[in-house]
């Protein structure tokens, strides 16, 4: 079934919002004082992000392709797999979805933000940074993680078995995302998605939140540029070998 551009853009907006609610919501749950999941551990975040990718893919994969990531949209356009005239509407919807999703997380956890005096813990519920303060490591981690995510997603959703059973492909993509958060989450978070990092960082900067600390804008380009580069290579590898 062919869907209108408006319907597909709406799907991208909703999918990205869900990604942020489940992903960054899980980070807030384990990072903010007073939460019943406070210090519950990284596995909660792994599950949150795995489901944050899996559910939009299940819900909207057959509608918009469930890019829910500007890096995926740009990389497919660069490699001739997506029309350039739809890139801007898709990315605008993804950015707005990320903004709304993060606002919902803040709304749900506002009492616990006020209790938390650790500025790093607060920032971690919004965006990413490199734990060692190493920009090169930050870039490599985001590049490699996004390349793997995009390559695995395209293989899962575009090969015959994935096309015949979209649910199986979407579930696989969710597990891949969860595995990447588990395997590569230590250094940076990670973002793997420019919208998931940039829009929450903007909110962190402008909202009058207690104990929020720095928004780390000097390194904010990394989780934007590195995922786009990694995704472009991932799509190129898919088109070359698959």
Q: Please give the radius of gyration of the chain, using alpha carbons only, rounded to the nearest integer.
A: 17
Is the pLDDT at 173 greater than 90, yes or no?
yes
Q: What is the pLDDT of residue 131?
A: 87
Please tell me the distance from the alpha carbon of residue 232 to that of residue 229, in angstroms, as a whole number.
5
Residue 148 binned pLDDT confidence (cut-offs 50, 70, 90): very high
H or E segment to which residue 40 belongs? none
Residue 172's pLDDT band, with cuts at 50, 70 and 90, is very high
Helix H or strand E segment including 156: helix 135-158
The predicted pLDDT at position 157 comes to: 86
CA 132/CA 99 separation, integer angstroms: 27
The predicted structure's pLDDT at residue 242: 78
Name 242's Cβ contacts closer than 8 Å, sequence gap at least 6.
154, 155, 158, 159
- Cβ-based neighbour number of residue 163 at 10 Å: 10
Average pLDDT taken over every residue of the chain: 95
- Range with lowest mean pLDDT among 3-17, 131-145, 156-170: 156-170
Q: What is the mean pLDDT of residues 58-86?
A: 96
Does the pLDDT value for residue 109 go beyond 90? Answer: yes
Q: What pLDDT does 217 receive?
A: 96
pLDDT at 241: 86
How much is the average pLDDT of 206-223? 94
Q: What's the Cα-to-Cα distance from 124 to each of 49, 60, 78, 101, 235, rounded to whole Å?
A: 14, 28, 31, 15, 29
- Tell me if 56 sits within 8 A of 68, measured CB to CB: yes
pLDDT at 65: 93
Count of other CB atoms within 10 angstroms of residue 35: 17
Q: What pLDDT is stored for residue 195 in this prediction?
A: 98
């Amino acid at each position: 079934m062919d869907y209108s551009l408006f319907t597909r853009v709406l799907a991208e907006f909703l999918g990205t919002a869900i990604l942020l609610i489940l992903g960054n919501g899980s980070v807030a749950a384990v990072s903010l004082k007073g939460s019943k999941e406070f210090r519950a551990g990284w596995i909660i975040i792994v599950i949150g992000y795995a489901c944050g990718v899996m559910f939009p893919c299940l819900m909207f994969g057959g509608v918009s392709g469930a890019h829910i990531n500007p890096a995926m949209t740009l990389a497919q356009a660069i490699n001739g797999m997506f029309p350039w005239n739809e890139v801007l509407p898709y990315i605008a919807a993804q950015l707005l979805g990320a903004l709304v999703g993060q606002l919902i997380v803040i709304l749900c956890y506002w009492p616990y933000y006020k209790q938390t005096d650790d500025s790093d813990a607060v920032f971690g519920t919004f965006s990413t940074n490199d734990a060692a303060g190493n920009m090169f490591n930050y870039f490599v981690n985001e590049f490699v993680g996004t390349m793997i995510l995009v390559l695995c997603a395209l293989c899962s959703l575009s090969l015959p078995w994935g096309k015949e059973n979209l649910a199986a492909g979407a579930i696989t993509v969710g597990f891949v995302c969860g595995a990447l958060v588990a395997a590569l989450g230590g250094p940076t978070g990670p973002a793997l998605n420019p919208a998931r990092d940039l829009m929450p960082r903007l909110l962190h900067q402008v909202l009058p939140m207690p104990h929020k600390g720095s928004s780390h804008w000097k390194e904010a380009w990394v989780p934007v540029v590195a995922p786009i580069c990694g995704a472009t290579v991932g799509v190129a590898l898919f088109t070359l070998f698959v």
